[in-house]
Structure 1
């Protein structure tokens, strides 16, 4: 029987000496030399000459918010490219004129890139959008600025997470308002489809999705319609753990394209919103951030997740939050077989990383966060140069043998961008080799989701989820590369214009 697809004439990542790959029935049938594999050509075989281009396993974004990525193309007002506070307000104002009557939701603003160097506030939004509820979500998702009409939908009292005078909502209050502004179920299902197409254009064939309430329903609609073309591994909100236990759902439950893996909990917030929990105050003296889940509760979640055969993914950015997550993991008695995860792990001490290794935890990190690292950038502004120089220490993680999975958190969802930052970061503890960075976005991410039997390497028997780059990264500067082709189960789901 002939192969369904043969890629030949280019290097294969992790398969030294091989320059061809054959696919049959959605899986990799063989890897080897072109003359040998071309013998598998049959009357129905699709032949693609690589012409020196490299083949990699499909990228696996270990931590993203997939539906949000889709909504950024369909519903949200993009503020990430705004060069000033005024430009961000202009975009909101123009959208309100074009879409009168409903919510106006901006997303992605980053005051650290603006000359004003300050957050959006209620008064700003009232002037720009006075007649519709309007909110604007900071790039990290942990701080929302709202106008007066939007604040009427906030059920949280003034206090730790709500400043009605400035129109600022943080953490749970921010999430609650975002849900109030969420579009209808049909729009969410369409966002899944859009996100899937966008992922394919980036070479992303699998994601670990930190899902929100109601997201599972949107995925199921897209799955039934055949518009989901990305393998989605879902981490549901932690308050879904009891329901999953009652239903006896364990990790991997679902279909080849949609599985439930576990639940996510928050130990703290973000550096940008000043809610990441620190041992030493922020550089401007504005507090130590917030612990969002107590150690005892994290330990309970860890124990119950392990008993149910589910993973616990704990968001922990600051060193104080990381300490809580580690103490909770120890108290829960978790081990390497559980593959519980720490998400972000941005400001660990070397001693804390030693304990991450001994507990068998997975480090789920985001190299694209390095865009805020370096002299004069946001992390230095918030933390000072000494702490900033050890943010996101990918090299320290790798040196300790800690399983490392790379994701994007959707800021942006682009493995080529993230890997590029890890290859040339501001500080030595952040730097990885090319092979290590690619593995973190493929094999490491697959391991983090118990998916390594099927995904993550170019090995016979594994699913033929593949990406073809425009050149060989061993020979070309990483920043000059593009995604030419993406395959899911051996079927093309993206072809860059003018390539093939």
Structure 2
């Protein structure tokens, strides 16, 4: 009589031929049953030692076997959940290498302006929201981008609208609308009044209040100038109780977790949260309510970090769902709002080279704190000047601490580089934390900002960076872009715009490179390559099953792929309908 393992295997009609199965089972030593088995699929492991299999077994949160259907069959016991993949692709869970976790949740609560076609649509959405809002209630939104509208706003200053129509749509409710990049804000008259902004208000260091030819604020706030609006909003919330603030953050965490998991993201690298937000992350994780795994970069002042870093460092906490071991800093702005810090002036604004949003000396001090406390340093740098200054800071810190060999410091974005600085990434061992979809999303305005020569030489140069020896990781920068990995993967392997044109296609990633950038490379960028990023025995059972094989289908079919299963720690957290 067949043992229980074999009886269960017999019930899987396609698992193996009936003639072979009894012999296979009889000859196998007994193993402890798995809690989950995926069979009859294409398992792409991103493990060079065993690149592919047909089936995978997990016991608890750990992978115990990858191989043929026959090799994995002995792991099936009476209580094992068996998922017949029916030929579908299973890959390591996507690791979003750079995003803003609570921002993903916030984007689902505030006005979503990512799809608006022009300024008139923005104004109409705000007018509708104002009619529903309570007296004095702040109206917030995010996602607009003036270079992606079907018509230019009139009147305009530097291509941005002016606030008059927005102020008329919401005369009594303050309005703040964050740019798609997150590096500029637009305000109505009421919000500017509450922020104390007039034509005489000076530009803060690292920011700009855009003004019209008569010196009146237009409503556009670049980079650190947005903090004036944030301060007014914070003042309006001073009456909130601590538990109300925490409940709001918890709601954002819940919404972000649900959305990311539904799209196949099993780990998320959060690019900058305060100590207070991290406290909420800890509570949610301790309650077992964090579905994906969260890697957090602290974003706070040097003064606060100097006293708190030691107490907040955490690796694989709360059942390996929360890690806090990195610091986030921002040295410049974004290209879309002309805040990226350049070596030479903008081609479409010759009077400007962008903005240095945080003094170099401040970032240098942060580097010392990071080294002293065993933290990874992750610096946002988009323009070529910003990248050069960041690499200089890193190089000086490495030379001053020769005993610290594996720090894996990162440049977040690394979007536009000088030819002279590209080799330095590999030479210094600096990780380029990039976002494939930024290339195709930004390509509509990059040539205007940089000109053709600079665009070709140094914009989104993934192949050049990889050839320098640098590790390139991938992510979405959500909510700047959708947290969905599929459009990002498509952008990484095609560099194709909506109109069918391609942006310097020689820098495209192969599909294998793109998958690795989103899995094993992203794990490496967080010191987690020994536990995740590939489907290998002993690693965490974080797996995604897709409806289409994005590694082999015609490239236009990639966009149609959907997530059928998201598995974190051997548990199915999302199952597509």
TM-score normalised to the size of structure 1? 0.94
1:10/1:54 contact within 8 Å kept:
yes
CA distance in 2, matches of 1:109, 1:210: 21
**Counterpart residue number, 1:319:** 384
CA distance in 1, matches of 2:265, 2:332: 28
State whether structure 2 residue 484 is matched by structure 1 residue 414: yes
The within-5 A match list for 1:92-103 is 92-101=126-135, 102-103=137-138
- State the Cα distance separating 1:176 from its structure 2 match: 5.2
Gap regions ≥5 residues in structure 2:
1-31, 154-158, 211-215, 238-244, 496-502
- State the Cα distance separating 1:205 from its structure 2 match: 0.8
1:422/1:430 contact within 8 Å kept:
no
The within-5 A match list for 1:382-461 is 382-389=449-456, 390-410=458-478, 411-425=481-495, 426-461=503-538
Given the superposition, is the C-alpha separation of residues 368 and 17 from structure 1 closer, same or farther in structure 2, using an over 3 Å criterion? closer
CA distance in 2, matches of 1:40, 1:191: 39
Q: What is the CA deviation profile of residues 132-170 of structure 1, one whole-angstrom value per residue up to 9, with x for unaligned ones?
A: 011111000111011122123436843242246112222
**Counterpart residue number, 1:266:** 330
Given the superposition, is the C-alpha separation of residues 133 and 302 from structure 1 closer, same or farther in structure 2, using an over 3 Å criterion? same
CA distance in 1, matches of 2:270, 2:92: 19
State whether structure 2 residue 104 is matched by structure 1 residue 69: yes
State whether structure 2 residue 438 is matched by structure 1 residue 369: yes
Match of 2:220 among 168, 177, 182: 168
1:395/1:428 contact within 8 Å kept:
no
Match of 1:79 among 101, 108, 113: 113
Given the superposition, is the C-alpha separation of residues 153 and 460 from structure 1 closer, same or farther in structure 2, using an over 3 Å criterion? farther
The within-5 A match list for 1:14-163 is 14=46, 15-74=50-109, 76-101=110-135, 102-114=137-149, 115-116=151-152, 118-154=159-195, 157-159=201-203, 160-163=207-210
Which has the higher mean CA deviation after the structures are superposed, 87-96 or 177-186? Answer: 177-186
1:274/1:289 contact within 8 Å kept:
yes
SS at match of 2:108: helix
Given the superposition, is the C-alpha separation of residues 228 and 268 from structure 1 closer, same or farther in structure 2, using an over 3 Å criterion? same
**Counterpart residue number, 1:491:** 571
**Counterpart residue number, 2:339:** 275
CA distance in 2, matches of 1:263, 1:212: 9
- State the Cα distance separating 1:395 from its structure 2 match: 1.1
**Counterpart residue number, 2:409:** 340
Q: What is the CA deviation profile of residues 316-357 of structure 1, one whole-angstrom value per residue up to 9, with x for unaligned ones?
A: 100011110011111112665111110000011232121111
SS at match of 1:383: helix
CA distance in 2, matches of 1:138, 1:170: 9
Match of 1:193 among 254, 270, 274: 254
Given the superposition, is the C-alpha separation of residues 455 and 180 from structure 1 closer, same or farther in structure 2, using an over 3 Å criterion? farther
2:111/2:140 contact within 8 Å kept:
yes
Given the superposition, is the C-alpha separation of residues 435 and 246 from structure 1 closer, same or farther in structure 2, using an over 3 Å criterion? closer
CA distance in 1, matches of 2:487, 2:70: 35
SS at match of 1:326: helix
CA distance in 2, matches of 1:212, 1:172: 17
Given the superposition, is the C-alpha separation of residues 450 and 199 from structure 1 closer, same or farther in structure 2, using an over 3 Å criterion? same
Q: How many equivalent residue pairs?
A: 493
CA distance in 1, matches of 2:351, 2:533: 42
SS at match of 2:217: coil
Gap regions ≥5 residues in structure 1:
none
**Counterpart residue number, 2:4:** none
Q: What is the CA deviation profile of residues 408-453 of structure 1, one whole-angstrom value per residue up to 9, with x for unaligned ones?
A: 1111212111110111112135300001101111111111111111
CA distance in 1, matches of 2:248, 2:112: 17
Given the superposition, is the C-alpha separation of residues 278 and 92 from structure 1 closer, same or farther in structure 2, using an over 3 Å criterion? same
**Counterpart residue number, 1:236:** 298
CA distance in 1, matches of 2:519, 2:227: 30
SS at match of 1:480: coil
**Counterpart residue number, 2:25:** none
- State the Cα distance separating 1:100 from its structure 2 match: 2.5
CA distance in 2, matches of 1:430, 1:147: 41
2:425/2:469 contact within 8 Å kept:
no
CA distance in 2, matches of 1:179, 1:211: 19
CA root-mean-square deviation: 1.9
CA distance in 1, matches of 2:416, 2:330: 15
Q: What is the CA deviation profile of residues 459-487 of structure 1, one whole-angstrom value per residue up to 9, with x for unaligned ones?
A: 11111111001122233232232111101
SS at match of 1:398: helix
Match of 1:378 among 441, 445, 449: 445
CA distance in 2, matches of 1:274, 1:80: 19
Given the superposition, is the C-alpha separation of residues 89 and 222 from structure 1 closer, same or farther in structure 2, using an over 3 Å criterion? farther
**Counterpart residue number, 2:560:** 480
The within-5 A match list for 1:204-219 is 204-213=265-274, 214-219=276-281
SS at match of 2:53: coil
1:295/1:324 contact within 8 Å kept:
yes
CA distance in 1, matches of 2:438, 2:95: 17
The within-5 A match list for 1:303-314 is 303-314=368-379
CA distance in 1, matches of 2:76, 2:462: 43
TM-score normalised to the size of structure 2? 0.82
CA distance in 2, matches of 1:333, 1:380: 35
SS at match of 1:252: strand
Q: What is the CA deviation profile of residues 241-278 of structure 1, one whole-angstrom value per residue up to 9, with x for unaligned ones?
A: 3133453x446274311221211111110101111000
